[in-house]
Each structure stands twice: as C-alpha cells, then as structure tokens.
Amino acid sequence: MTSFGEVLDLLATLGLWVLVALVLVGAVPLLAATYQFLLIGVHARKNHYPQTAPYEPRVAILVPAWNEAAVLEASIDRLVGLDYPADRLRVYVVDDASTDATPDVVQAKGREYPGQVVHLRREKGGEGKAHTLNHGLGIILGDDWMQALLIMDADVIYEPDSLRKMTRHLADPEVGAVTAYIKEGSQPGNYLQRFVAYEYVTAQAAARRSQNVLGALACLAGGAQLHSRANLEAIGGRIDTTSLAEDTFTTFNTQLAGNKVVFDGNATVWAEEPDGIVGLWKQRLRWARGNVQVTLRYKHLWFRPHSGHNLGSFTFGVFWFCLFLLPIFMMVSSAALLTLYFADFERAWAVFQHLWIINALSYLFITTFALAIDPTTARRAWREAIAFPGVVSLLVILYTCAPVVFSWLASLWSATTGLAWGETSTHVVMLIAYSWLALCMPVAWLGKKAEEKGKRWLSPFFVYLGGYGPLLCAVTFTSYVYEFRGAEMSWDKTEKTGKVALPR
C-alpha cells in the first residue's frame, strides 16, 4: 500500500521532470531553425528550376507611392532599364494622395517614357498599402494587356536580371506567384541595417529555400511579389485590406486557391531598411501584429494536412509557431529554470548546461552556414551575425562550451587582483544566466527607450548586449499585447531616404 508520503515524493519527482521539460522548451525554436537550415541542402535537389522556361510575359509593375519623390525618379529609371523587353513592361505608380512632388516626378517620367510609365492618383490617401494597391489593381485588371503583375515598393532596387529570373517560374502554369531575395542595401548603412542584412539572410535566403522544399511559403516579400494574372483573378482580384499583413494574406490566399508560390533566391532585389530602432520597431510591430492576425484568421489551417496545399503540414506549422511564440518559449524556459534553481540546484545546473549546449551547436551551425549562403552580406555584417543573440548570450554559450577556459580566466583574475571569486558572486551570475533567455528581451528593448529619450548613441550598446534577435522577440511580445487590447491598426509608413544602391 502506497503511503501519502510516497505519493508526495512521486508528485515532487514528476514536478521536477515537468520543470526540466519546460526548460528544454527553450531549445525547441533553435532546433526547428536548425532543421530549417538543413532543408536548404535538400533544395539543391528539390527545387522548381527544372520546371522553368524562358518566359517573358507582359508585366505591369505596380508601385504604391506616398510622398516618395526622393526615390521615385531613380526607381522608375531603373525599372524601365531592367533587362526585359521594353514593349512588355509597364510601370504603374499609384500616388496615394501625396503632398510632395511625387505627381510631378511621375508625370515627367511618363513624358520621358511614353506608354511605359503611368501615373494613377488617389485623391483620398493614408488608408494603407493594400488600399493603394487595390486602386491600381482595379485599373490594371480592367484591360487584358497585363499577363503578370509585379508588386513592389518605391525604394526597392531590382538587379537587372531579377525580373526575368522571376518570370521564368511562371512558365509553369501551376505557379501563381514568385518572390525574390530582398537584401538590405543601404550605403554605407549603420549597425542596425547590418543586423537587418544578416537577418534577411536567415529569414529569406535560408528560410524561404526550406519553405520551397516544404511546398508552403509563409510570405511573399511585400517589395518583390510577382503574380500571374490567373492567380490574381483566382484570389478575387484584390488585396486584403482588413489586416496589417496584406502580403502574408495574399501569400496564403494564393496557396489556398491551389496555386504554387515559389521563392527564387537567385533573383535579388535591394531595399533600404530603417536606420533607427524606433523606425524599425514601428515597421516590425506592424508585421508582427499582421502575423497575429494571420495566425488567428487561418486557425482552421494549422496542423491539418490538406491535399490542395501544404500550409497545414506539421513541419510548416512548427516553423510558423516557433517564430510566432518565440518570446513565450523563452520566458517559459527561463521561469522553469529559475524555479528549478530553488527546487533542485544540481538538476538546474545540469539542465541549464544541456539547454545551452544545444543552443551553442545550433548557433554555430546556423551562423556559419548563413554567412556562407550570402558571402557579400557576410563580408559586411559578420560582426552582427556573431552578435545576433547578444553578447551576454554569446558569453553563456562560450562558457557552456569551454568551461575550462573560463575557470582558467577566473583563477588568472584572482591571482592578478588578489580578489577571490566568492560563492555569492557565483550565485548572482547563475541567477542572471538562468533568467537571461527572458531578460535579454527587455535589455534589447532599452535600446529603443534610449533612442526615444534622445540618447541614440546608447542604443547600440543595449542591442549588442541584449541581442538583435531578442529585440525582435520583444516586438513580437508587444504585438500580442496590442492585438489583445484591440489597438487601432495604423499604417506607419517606413521612411525612405534613397540611400540604397546596387553594390559595385
């Protein structure tokens, strides 16, 4: 007969193992990311290239523009100069009631390139990109000239062959839409833009290749999405206006309509990203809130395999939710580790080491491989790639990987200074390390607060210390709060200065 004490012991043991499992939850997103990177190798064999053919449809380029006079002139020149038959290319600029010289610039370009540049004007503006796009879409779909539509942003620069590299996939009638690899191209660019540059290697060049393998794409880049006419008609001829993630909705709707979506990592376009945390925060909060809306709107899709599309596949669901719930994973892991520290000190130390060794190996593989994927960005942003998880996380990784080195450094420090490393110091450091998976987010967020308080020079310190990745997690967490509160959906346009340029 089992005594009450034995039942309590059993429950305590069970509780400890539950805590261990919750701590290890913190490794799940990185393991998922590692698997995502492993699929890139499969992409060498399983890709859409064999189905491509030389195909140059009549392409209408749709450029939404609100006060873009600073960048439009050069943008239009570059679009007209693309390595693509001039008689098969038209540029439609939808001027969203701009108050600057945008109409004059577009009209002047219309005179310079008659029949190739069209100025469309909305008298009521500021409703968001989707409304602006729909204005142009209605007119372009109104006649049968257009065979394919390229949706882009006014500041984005296409490499001369990129459009043709995208249209080749439309030779396959099963393909509804194609997207390209958007790279951060600010010249010279600051530390934050270099972080974004590296982020885009992981989030686009890497992640979208693996999504090609899965047959389900999460998002057509807003600045580079090419649609076949048939696909636009299949999704109703308009872009969703009820959310902040119109590009993700279009991507999902395309796949739900039974059309394939393809990422071509060899078609490259360059974009200018924010040079300050406040601007980046606004942009990413809009994207993150859009992701919350997508997750809820398509809740019937997740983890439910379907013969018509792969959005419901288990792997795609894991990839989506590992990103979407990343802040939760990190906070749960930290909270469980801290609880374990007080409940079972030895076990906490062991599981902490296991967690961070898994993180270290994933980090090593992902970082080295990401740098190899895009050598141009690697040369520019290798420091930011290394510092992506933050300097403190990097130190924890180094410690778990090479404790003997740290022990030697500690003894060297004691010998040099004459100060002994006490037990209290050890426990303080341990508590900080245990809680760091959660703590790194507010630390990175301090970078934004510093910028808001006019201490912009202090922002990089917090971003490098807390990490750029944790900064994005802080944005994601804020998006939950905004959506939960039902905050107003305002379209905060990202300010563009025209500093982006093609590399020489």
Q: Least distance (Å) from another protein to the CB of residue 353?
A: 10
Residue 318 contacts another protein per CB under 8 A: no
**Residue 5 or residue 54: which is nearer to another protein going by CB?**
54
Residue 401 contacts another protein per CB under 8 A: yes
The correct pick among 191, 349, 369, 491 for binding another protein (CB under 8 A) is: 369
Tokens read off for 123? 């008298």
The correct pick among 10, 21, 402, 429 for binding another protein (CB under 8 A) is: 402
Rounded Cα–Cα distance for residues 153 and 160 (Å): 16
**Cα torsion angle, 361, 365, 368, 371, sign:** negative
Footprint on residues 142-171 left by another protein (CB under 8 A): 160-161, 164-165, 168, 170-171
- Number of neighbouring beta carbons within 10 Å of residue 358: 18
**Residue 335 or residue 401: which is nearer to another protein going by CB?**
401
Q: Least distance (Å) from another protein to the CB of residue 409?
A: 13
The correct pick among 47, 116, 241, 295 for binding another protein (CB under 8 A) is: 47
Residue 37 contacts another protein per CB under 8 A: yes
Rounded Cα–Cα distance for residues 79 and 150 (Å): 11
Contact yes or no for 157/185 (Cβ under 8 A): yes
The beta-strand segments (E) located in 45-128 are: 59-65, 89-96, 117-122
Interface with another protein (CB under 8 A), residue total: 48
Footprint on residues 69-88 left by another protein (CB under 8 A): 81-86, 88
| Distances from the Cα of 251 to the Cα of 294, 311, 375, 482, angstroms | 11, 10, 29, 24
Rounded Cα–Cα distance for residues 244 and 491 (Å): 8
Q: Least distance (Å) from another protein to the CB of residue 368?
A: 5
Chain position carrying tokens 């093609």: 502
- Pattern 412-451, binding to another protein, x per CB under 8 A? ----------------------------------------
Tokens read off for 410? 């500690």
How far out from the chain centre does Cα 270 lie?
15
Footprint on residues 166-195 left by another protein (CB under 8 A): 168, 170-174
Rounded Cα–Cα distance for residues 129 and 465 (Å): 35
Footprint on residues 251-310 left by another protein (CB under 8 A): 264-266
**Residue 58 or residue 449: which is nearer to another protein going by CB?**
58
Q: What sections of 387-500 are H helices per DSSP? A: 391-401, 403-417, 423-452, 459-466, 468-485
Residues within the interface to another protein (CB under 8 A): 37-38, 40-41, 43-44, 47, 49, 51-57, 81-86, 88, 160-161, 164-165, 168, 170-174, 209, 264-266, 361, 364-365, 368-369, 372-373, 401-405
